[in-house]
């Protein structure tokens, strides 16, 4: 069994709501059998408090942290990592989730 990096964006009323939506969407997209290499393998997340200008900036930071093997994102069995990326026009909050997941 290996691991894959993932970066995904989700919107919700708060980080937990967005995380739940991201996990459900990943299960729909990749199946429920496990080892998908996606956020579907995660059951929790930790937030990194950063100020970002946009979703694109948050995604770039996520990929940079993954590429640098930052210790906060280094475990396929650990939680996903979350960066708040702003509020949409509809009032929902945007979050970027990322990390390693078993595949």
CA angle in degrees (0–180, nearest 5) for 75-93-46? 20
Q: Looking up tokens 């906060």, which residue turns up?
A: 72
Please state the rounded mean pLDDT for residues 3-17.
Answer: 96
**pLDDT at residue 92 is higher than 80:** yes
- pLDDT, tens only, 30-89: 887 788 999 999 999 999 999 898 999 999 999 999 999 988 887 889 999 999 999 988
A 10 A CB-CB count for 89 gives 5
**pLDDT at residue 18 is higher than 90:** yes
- Per-residue confidence band for 19, with pLDDT thresholds at 50, 70 and 90: very high
Q: pTM for this structure?
A: 0.93
């Amino acid at each position: 069994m290996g691991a894959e990096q993932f970066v995904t964006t989700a919107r919700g009323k708060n980080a937990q709501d967005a995380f739940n939506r991201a996990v459900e969407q990943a299960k729909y997209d990749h199946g429920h059998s496990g080892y998908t290499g996606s956020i579907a393998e995660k059951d929790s997340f930790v937030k990194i408090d950063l100020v970002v200008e946009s979703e694109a900036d948050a995604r770039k930071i996520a990929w940079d942290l993954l590429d640098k093997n930052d210790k906060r994102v280094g475990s396929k069995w650990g939680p996903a990592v979350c960066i708040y990326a702003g509020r949409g026009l509809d009032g929902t909050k945007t979050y970027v989730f990322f990390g390693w997941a078993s595949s």
